[in-house]
Structure 1
Amino acid sequence: MSTTAIVTGGARGIGKACAEALAAKGCDIALIDLLEDDMAATAKEIAAAHGVKTLTFTADVTDFARAHAIVDEVAKAWGRIDVLVNNAGAPNPKPILEITEDEFDRTIAVNLKSCFNYIHAAAPIMLAQEGVARIVSMSSLNALSGGVTSAVSKHSYAAAKAGILGLTRSLAKEFGPKIAINAICPGVIATDLLKRMITNSHDSLVRGIALGRMGAPEDVASLVAYLATEPHMFMTGQHFVVDGFQWSC
């Protein structure tokens, strides 16, 4: 029986790398994103490279009902859901006194409520099936430091990503031993979006990273694949920092 995985925000960047890493482990992959063309291209690449089945769903991850409909469709198509990767998210660089209420709510919804939506939809299926399912949610170094760089994120984003850590710890108690749930806190990862946002601060950021470079999406994806598929994985309710030891945050 094939292992199945859902990846939100899977069209490009870290989400695409996670989908590719999971496919390399033999997982059939369901991608969810608003970027329909990029998502279709990613699904085609993954299927050709790894011989796995793929599904794609165009969706706003903040939509609770849509999350349930997608997860039900994946379960109906493949019979089970083994892995959920909550990767979808978006930064917000505005200071707290400049952000509007709607912008704050949207930041919380995209980064935190989206995790709730897909966990709420997938957990009943995971709890009812045989075996131990895995959930990996993408938090951020911002959740621990209060902000890596003002060009990328500020308070609303840090608050949302910190919420993921609390949700992860509490759900580990509720879902154990049927679901192992963990979070990852990436530091500065060289996605296309980040490169566009920090063109003027690249050198100063790298000087503050002990390994001397920005992270790559694959640096995060390799840990996601481990947490999602490694049979001898005795961790739940944890967060893991992937930042090259970013000591100047």
Structure 2
Amino acid sequence: MTDKVAVVTGSARGIGRGCALELARRGYDIVIVDMLAPEMHRTAGEITALGRQVMTEEADVADHARAKAIAAAVQARFGRIDVLVNNAGRGNPTGIFDITEEGFDRTIAINLKSCFNYIQAFAPMMLDGGGGRIVSMSSLNAHTGGVTSAVSKFSYAAAKAGIIGMTKALAKELGPTIAINCVCPGIIETEVGNSLTKSRGPELAKKIVLNRLGTPADVAQLVAFLACTEPFFITGQAFTIDGFQWEI
């Protein structure tokens, strides 16, 4: 696996960083796509320390043309892509009567349109190379609509639900050469979620069967399974990883 390449969007920190590091440990060279330059370069250093090559691309994932340009740069440097992890996303806690049209559009663009951008940009390279895996990050809120999370309002839930529909449809369109699945995390302790988890962590943990909040490493293990496992007979699926939440 020493010559395989994974592109991970939103991988400067949080779940994306966890996924990038786990794939690097499993022998993948990593392309980091993010807007957070300092954190991106920190993660790049961690990947280099694992003995893997790393490429950093500062980008707004909602930018369709930028996704195409990054795909061309990856083709020029590595000549291939084996795994695409669409992890970049952003919450929006604004309710239906307060959200602006621009706010709604931005939520959809970052969370859902970004998956379209990067799949359309990288799938041709995967097909030319004989196949690949795509894993997109949905959310438990896609199923529940969310209640307690700061990112659980309707626009975020709608975008994440769209990822499930896109995954199922594209599994049929891109198969059998490309397998595509998505992951639906529950409450995960990340830098973004710290304000929620620090103040309400023990309370929220009591509502989870495994009695703790999730970590980026938990999600990364599932993503790596979907990205690396051989033989493989899974596509078009949405996997919930939430420690089994009773009522959240």
TM-score category, normalised to shorter length: over 0.9
The corresponding residue for 2:6 is 5
1:25/1:198 CA distance change after superposition, 3 Å = closer
Task: Tell me, yes or no, if the aligned pair for 1:148 and 1:187 is still in contact at 8 Å.
Answer: no
| 1:16 lines up with 2:13 in the alignment | no
Q: Could you tell me how far apart the structure 1 residues matched to 2:245 and 2:165 are?
A: 22
Q: Could you tell me how far apart the structure 1 residues matched to 2:203 and 2:38 are?
A: 34
Q: Could you tell me how far apart the structure 1 residues matched to 2:6 and 2:153 are?
A: 31
Quote how far apart the aligned CAs of 1:192 are.
Answer: 1.4
Secondary structure (helix, strand or coil) at the match of 1:157 reads helix
Task: Tell me, yes or no, if the aligned pair for 2:145 and 2:152 is still in contact at 8 Å.
Answer: no
Quote how far apart the aligned CAs of 1:197 are.
Answer: 3.5
The corresponding residue for 2:28 is 27
Q: Could you tell me how far apart the structure 2 residues matched to 1:193 and 1:181 are?
A: 26
Quote how far apart the aligned CAs of 1:40 are.
Answer: 0.7
Q: Could you tell me how far apart the structure 1 residues matched to 2:15 and 2:199 are?
A: 22
Long gaps (5+) in structure 2: none
Quote how far apart the aligned CAs of 1:151 are.
Answer: 2.7
The corresponding residue for 2:43 is 42
Q: Could you tell me how far apart the structure 2 residues matched to 1:63 and 1:106 are?
A: 11
Secondary structure (helix, strand or coil) at the match of 2:192 reads helix
The corresponding residue for 2:101 is 101
Quote how far apart the aligned CAs of 1:26 are.
Answer: 0.3
Deviations 1:89-135 (A, max 9, x none): 001111111111100000000000000000010011111112x3000
Q: Could you tell me how far apart the structure 2 residues matched to 1:138 and 1:19 are?
A: 13
Runs of 4+ off more than 6 Å: none
Q: Could you tell me how far apart the structure 2 residues matched to 1:31 and 1:245 are?
A: 30
Which residues of 2 match residues 15-164 of structure 1 at below 5 A? Answer: 15-48=16-49, 50-130=50-130, 132-164=131-163
The corresponding residue for 1:213 is 212
| Greater displacement, 190-199 / 16-25 | 190-199
Task: Tell me, yes or no, if the aligned pair for 2:149 and 2:196 is still in contact at 8 Å.
Answer: no
**Identity in percent:** 57
The corresponding residue for 2:243 is 244
Deviations 1:187-246 (A, max 9, x none): 000001111245443233111100000000000000111111111221000010000001
Long gaps (5+) in structure 1: none
Quote how far apart the aligned CAs of 1:79 are.
Answer: 0.8
Quote how far apart the aligned CAs of 1:153 are.
Answer: 2.0
Q: Could you tell me how far apart the structure 1 residues matched to 2:180 and 2:150 are?
A: 30
What letter is aligned with 1:141? Answer: L
Task: Tell me, yes or no, if the aligned pair for 1:88 and 1:111 is still in contact at 8 Å.
Answer: yes
Q: Could you tell me how far apart the structure 2 residues matched to 1:186 and 1:212 are?
A: 15
1:43/1:166 CA distance change after superposition, 3 Å = same
Aligned length: 247
Task: Tell me, yes or no, if the aligned pair for 1:151 and 1:198 is still in contact at 8 Å.
Answer: no
What letter is aligned with 1:54? Answer: V
The corresponding residue for 2:169 is 170
Deviations 1:35-57 (A, max 9, x none): 00110110111111x21100000
Q: Could you tell me how far apart the structure 2 residues matched to 1:148 and 1:214 are?
A: 16
Quote how far apart the aligned CAs of 1:156 are.
Answer: 0.1
Secondary structure (helix, strand or coil) at the match of 2:127 reads helix
User: What RMSD over aligned residues (CA atoms) do the two structures have, in Å?
Assistant: 1.1
Deviations 1:4-29 (A, max 9, x none): 00000010000000000000110000
Task: Tell me, yes or no, if the aligned pair for 1:29 and 1:54 is still in contact at 8 Å.
Answer: yes
Which residues of 2 match residues 166-245 of structure 1 at below 5 A? Answer: 166-245=165-244
What letter is aligned with 1:191? Answer: T
